[in-house]
Amino acid sequence: MAFLVGILRREPLLENPTFVVQVDRTDLDDQLHDQFVCARTLVGDVKHAEDVDKLRNLLRTEGGEVIFTTIEKFRLMDEANGAKEIEHPVLSNRSNIIIIADEAHRSQYGFLKGYARYLGEALPNARRIGFTGTPISLHGADTVEVFGDVIHTYDIKQSQEDRTTVPIYYEPRQIKLHLNHNDVDAALAEIVDGAEIDGLERKKSRWAALAGAAGTKDRLEELAGDLLAHFKQRTATLEGKVIIVCMTRENCVRLYNAITVLPDCPEVKVVMTGDLTKDPAEWSKAGHYTTKEKRELIKKRMVDPEDPLRIVIVCDMWLTGTDIPCLHTLYIDKPMKGHTMIQAISRVNRVFRDKPHGLIVDYIGIGDELRDATSRYTQGGGRGEPAPGVSEEAKPIFLAALNDVRELLPDGIDYGDWRRLPAIDLEDRYALVFGYLTEDEGQRDDYFQAEHKLTTAYLLVKHLDDCRPYADEIIFYQRVRKHLMKVLPGKRPKLDIEHAVRDLVDDSLESQGVVDIFKSAGIQTPDISILDDEFLQTFKDKPHVNLRLKLLEKLISDEIHLRQRRNLAQAKSFRELLENTLRNYHNRLIDAAAVIQAMLDIKKDMASSDARAKALGLEKDELAFYDAVSSQYADIYGDKFLSGLIHEVVQAVRKNLKVDWTEPHRDDVKAAVRAAVKRVLARNNIKAEDLDRFVTCIIDQAAALYADWPLAA
């Protein structure tokens, strides 16, 4: 809409047009106005008509601006003599006024009376453009008749291809109302595009009977239990929020009371207006009445995916115009039809991270009305269906995605039986799949994409009886993906950067337990500080190559970790060697035997470094300081000079250390250590250009080695 205004205002033939952006609700007026203000450089001057007088004054100007108003401001006013206007005064005869109607329905029709008539009287020569997702064609209310032929259709399929919306699916979970079909049909007949019946007539109507049946204690308790269970299952694997729609405000409150007493119920809010003079006092005490300010606060909390508010219950509010991207499910316990239904279900089609779809869960039986509305609003040539059924549409998508993943892995293996395997055999199966997928980078990337599609497809069908048995197979594929991403950090798929979809968790299935890699490999747990050649040689011929690799990796990683506190430079060097070796193995550049040999070489290098300390006449702590500076200064100052210098430096460091010397509040102690080191270096004629860098190397190593002084002494 903003882009259209930006284009038209630059059209010379329109001679500086005025745009009247007109909506039928105040909240939509504010929302759209704020969006246009953000686009002021494109659309020009933006005005807001807060009342009738301001609207009339703005429309009597020469033009060039964008005016926001609700249609009810085009109404008859009291004249100066106290009489009411008979017709709306002409505010402008200009033909370059363009009325843009957001959601062009309901209030735009009826030229014999009402706001639509007054709008026509106020701006008789204005041109009209309508934006709507739900055009109508009824007697006395025809979108094309009012706004002209359709200029462009942005259909459901195109919006999904552009990732401006996500697909919506329909799931029936009807809970019986204990009414016969004639009663329900008669009550449904009383709904006119979602408008409710007010006052005495409503109380006498079959709608009231239907609402009463829907709000019985037993039914609402059953509804609350089923809905909360469905919510927990769905949000276990999909981050986001939900809205529940009830027939009446009474039913909203009753459902709130029924659901909030259940165990593990998340935070729930009711969003509705109230009348203190007529409604029960308990409603106000419970905080169910919402002012405009309170509704905005609740909406901000719902929009924030991290906020603990997860469920909102409504009757009429928030079913049109409300934008909550992380909303993924709409639970409907209220009859709807026509454009009101389409507007309501569209609340869950907003794009949010990698949210795969929105879901409509039907508890009252709106399936036929949904099909009718779907037919009406897609018959204009647009592609896509608003809410296909889960069983009919989502299950074939899931099975196709499952087959795509299977085709990327070795044949002849039941990947769903992993829970029955001994732990050691399961490790071998993972190793087989990891090796197969890492042989080719393209195949690995294909697996990432296929597994993500499979996981998101399974979210929709996992509650179906004939799809539940696939859960273990899905979990296996997810674990493969997570391991690949862990060992190949530079190759993480873009989909994993920010996600809404979470991996499956099945608490009812027992853990497989921890694999003791030493015991499984038939090796006694060694003292990692004394890995001798005899142990390493006996290790080479053990079975289960993947297990042997894991065992060696653990042994060497643990020893590197121990050395890190003592010698930063040495530990970093060994860590890089280990990581490069494993990376080459996972990329299939070297085989398992080469990995084992490389790891054994790393272990031997560690042992030789200890002998080197003795040759230099240094203690292990002193060797750490020597390694920190020798890589940069050995060629300049020589090994013999540096080893003698380090002995003196370490003594100076230790003399000046105090408790918590590395903490920010002990900067004075750290400064004293630094000064002592600098004095030793200066006394030994370290060059001025090397002095600061030399000191920094020493202090960094001291902080790593003596951070918990005096325990590290």
Contact 535, 607 (CB under 8 A): no
Structure tokens at 268: 């729930």
3-state secondary structure of 161: helix
pLDDT, average across residues 315-337: 90
- Per-residue model confidence (pLDDT) at position 703: 84
**What pLDDT band is residue 520 in, cutting at 50, 70 and 90?**
very low
Burial class (CB in 10 A: 0-12, 13-18, 19+), 18: buried
Q: How far apart are CA 476 and CA 467, in angstroms?
A: 16
Q: What is the CATH number of domain 168-387?
A: 3.40.50.300
pLDDT digits (tens, 9 = 90+) for 390-437: 666 778 888 999 999 999 999 989 999 988 888 778 877 888 888 788
Could you tell me which residues come within 8 angstroms of residue 571 by beta carbon, excluding any fewer than 6 positions away?
A: 560, 561, 563, 564
Looking at the predicted structure, is the pLDDT value of residue 192 above 50?
no
- Per-residue model confidence (pLDDT) at position 606: 61
Q: Across the chain, what does the average pLDDT equal?
A: 77
- Per-residue model confidence (pLDDT) at position 20: 92
**What pLDDT band is residue 518 in, cutting at 50, 70 and 90?**
very low
Percentage of the chain surpassing pLDDT 70?
70
Rounded to a whole number of angstroms, the CA Rg of the chain reads 36
pLDDT digits (tens, 9 = 90+) for 424-475: 788 778 888 887 887 777 888 899 989 988 988 888 788 777 888 898 999 9
Residue bearing the bigger pLDDT, 331 or 380:
331
Structure tokens at 631: 């890589």
Among the ranges given (44-53, 71-80, 185-194, 657-666), the one the predictor scored with the smallest mean pLDDT:
185-194
pLDDT digits (tens, 9 = 90+) for 652-700: 888 888 877 888 878 888 899 889 989 988 888 888 888 888 888 888 8
Residue 479: enclosing H or E segment and its boundaries?
helix 471-487
pLDDT digits (tens, 9 = 90+) for 92-144: 999 999 999 876 555 555 444 567 788 888 899 999 888 877 666 554 456 67
- Per-residue model confidence (pLDDT) at position 305: 93
Which DSSP string do the residues of 284-320 spell out, in sequence order?
Answer: HHTT-B--HHHHHHHHHHHH-TTSSEEEEEESSTTSS
Among the ranges given (148-157, 294-303, 327-336, 517-526), the one the predictor scored with the smallest mean pLDDT:
517-526
pLDDT digits (tens, 9 = 90+) for 242-286: 999 999 999 999 999 999 999 999 999 999 988 888 888 889 888
Looking at the predicted structure, is the pLDDT value of residue 16 above 80?
yes
Contact 537, 508 (CB under 8 A): no
Looking at the predicted structure, is the pLDDT value of residue 162 above 70?
yes
Could you tell me which residues come within 8 angstroms of residue 567 by beta carbon, excluding any fewer than 6 positions away?
A: 620, 623, 624, 627, 628, 701
- Per-residue model confidence (pLDDT) at position 508: 31
- Per-residue model confidence (pLDDT) at position 513: 39
3-state secondary structure of 404: helix
Domains 2-152 and 168-387 share a fold: yes
Q: What is the CATH number of domain 2-152?
A: 3.40.50
Domain layout of the chain by residue ranges: 2-152, 168-387, 394-496, 517-604, 620-705
- Per-residue model confidence (pLDDT) at position 567: 53
Residue 333's φ and ψ, nearest 5 degrees, are -125, 45
pLDDT digits (tens, 9 = 90+) for 203-253: 446 667 778 888 889 999 999 999 999 999 888 888 899 999 999 999 999
- Per-residue model confidence (pLDDT) at position 529: 40
Looking at the predicted structure, is the pLDDT value of residue 167 above 80?
yes
Nearest to 67 by CA among 148, 126, 132: 126
pLDDT digits (tens, 9 = 90+) for 3-13: 999 999 999 99
- Per-residue model confidence (pLDDT) at position 497: 42
Residue bearing the bigger pLDDT, 77 or 503:
77
Nearest to 477 by CA among 583, 404, 394, 586: 404
